[in-house]
Structure 1
């Protein structure tokens, strides 16, 4: 009975949207998350991103933020097909990689013009053969710049507090809190925009990539469901990351980068409890801003000469 009532309610909402030209014009979005206070609320899209599915893949899409603000916001369109040059990728963990001394750093993507490394934090509960791991920081090398974005280590998660920190060329800087707050490098090679008031940003490396970053904790519910055994003095704040590459070669390397190669064949053994990707010895780096791994393609000196 409840499902029939729900379908009736959704159909009514859709008819109302059509009556006002909302659905057909694509200039508004609706929250359909039942447990949200925004449920069935129609949200007008910002003028900067009036369409939910832009005709140009480089344009930002209108997105319904049903969690906190109950408003439509602009986010990069990560639904682009692999058939074109802009690809999408999600990354949070690599449980198949060995994390030593509380953290390890691996090269995620390396090409001739840029490289992205990730620092993983982890822990291994008693009786488990592999670590639970999360991305704690990203390090980018591009043009003549180095850039890092990190999730701050915190004991107790506070939703209204910003837990992101940034550096450019070794110098830390602050990004003003508030939705759509912006910061850019003096040469406009790097742009950072907040997609939420705190803890979520869009990082744009000019002509290279767009990276969506959100810092989140391991919640008590996650801990209980997965058996992480998170300690009381650390909520293991980590980064949820989406990559969208604007320029990438067929020789690209990395834990994630190699999946973009046209000749890529997955080495994951399906059907086992913990799939192992392998190759950690080829991709581990000495630091977050190091290109010293065995298969790293990026070379700061070559980029400088070019």
Structure 2
């Protein structure tokens, strides 16, 4: 079996991302001549921000791909099943924990009249090897697309990436590479052989606030992250809110018939801080890095965009 990317919707196991623009998107890969440069209106489900599958020449919502973490946090697991995990505001939770990789998320939010917090992912802390990588959204009162509201750090040092689509930054001491997918607030982070993450900083819009009853004021638009994860190689012992959905033996316990299928278990995923590995399901640094058959877990998936599920072969 050739290399397979986990948690990434593909057709013919090939996906070519586009650049992203408000309300419209286009394929920017010249290999696809008939689609290259053609502007598409974003789908109704994501009217402001979308991407284009250059092979199909169709726009789609990035938040509908397996490995997505968006909105109030809405997850699409590695098994293709959609669920919500609300956590708690101003707390940290383990998203992925594997012997070579650990990812925590910091949740921001506010109280609601529904008896729970409205929450969003404000930042992520990634541990790999002896390195700590931070990516987060700054606190913003009035949102402007042209302003950079993303903060990036590696081992405590700020990373300054030119505000120009396509620009890249490579770490001199690691294999980490960051690329701008738009002039501001949209990047791809990759560590060869381990993970790739597309990250966008977005605000809560007045319309979203009105429809969902967030009651967001002009003092804080609750800028947060929308994330798409894919993992090149993870073990069969992977855990975490998102990570557990990639295990071969995982069976979702969320009630899919509910209007909002919610995953519980916040206590076992809770971490003491963004770079802590003390959640109850932590596997980071453990010696057992391979599955029972001696090979890392790899998954090949195929699906059509827009659905809630995905067919995967393990």
TM-score (norm 1): 0.70
Q: Identify which of 223, 236, 243 aligns with 1:257.
A: 243
Question: Is the aligned partner of 1:205 residue 2:180?
Answer: no
Q: Supply the distance in 2 between the matched residues of 1:204 and 1:75 (Cα, whole angstroms).
A: 20
Does the aligned pair in 1 maintain the 2:87–2:107 contact within 8 Å? Answer: no
Alpha-carbon shift at residue 276 of structure 1 (Å): 2.9
Question: Is the aligned partner of 1:98 residue 2:83?
Answer: no
Does the aligned pair in 1 maintain the 2:99–2:284 contact within 8 Å? Answer: yes
Q: Name the Cα RMSD after superposition.
A: 3.5
Alpha-carbon shift at residue 272 of structure 1 (Å): 3.6
Question: Is the aligned partner of 1:268 residue 2:254?
Answer: yes
Matches within 5 A, 1:181-260: 181-260=167-246
More helix as a share of residues? 1
SS in 2 for 1:221: helix
Change over 3 Å in CA distance of 1:207–1:289 after alignment to 2: same
Does the aligned pair in 2 maintain the 1:63–1:75 contact within 8 Å? Answer: no
Highest RCO, 1 vs 2 (Cα 8 Å, sep ≥ 6) = 2
Q: Supply the distance in 2 between the matched residues of 1:37 and 1:242 (Cα, whole angstroms).
A: 19
1:298 matched to which residue of 2? Answer: 284
Structure 1 unaligned blocks of 5 or more: 1-27, 53-60, 78-86
1:69-125 deviation line (CA, Å, top 9, x unaligned): xxxx99999xxxxxxxxx9411121554331xx411111011110111111111122
SS in 2 for 1:149: strand
2:77 matched to which residue of 1? Answer: none
SS in 2 for 1:225: helix
2:166 matched to which residue of 1? Answer: 180
Question: Is the aligned partner of 1:124 residue 2:111?
Answer: yes
Question: Is the aligned partner of 1:113 residue 2:100?
Answer: yes
Alpha-carbon shift at residue 169 of structure 1 (Å): 0.7
Matches within 5 A, 1:46-61: 46-47=29-30, 50-51=31-32
Does the aligned pair in 1 maintain the 2:17–2:53 contact within 8 Å? Answer: no
SS in 2 for 1:288: coil
Q: Identify which of 85, 89, 94 aligns with 2:67.
A: 89
Change over 3 Å in CA distance of 1:142–1:90 after alignment to 2: same
> Which structure's CA Rg is the greater one?
1
Matches within 5 A, 1:156-171: 156-171=142-157
2:307 matched to which residue of 1? Answer: none
Structure 2 unaligned blocks of 5 or more: 1-15, 43-50, 56-64, 75-83, 290-314
Q: Supply the distance in 1 between the matched residues of 2:241 and 2:27 (Cα, whole angstroms).
A: 40
Compare 250-259 and 270-279 and name the one that shifted more.
Answer: 270-279
Change over 3 Å in CA distance of 1:206–1:90 after alignment to 2: same
Q: Supply the distance in 2 between the matched residues of 1:197 and 1:62 (Cα, whole angstroms).
A: 20
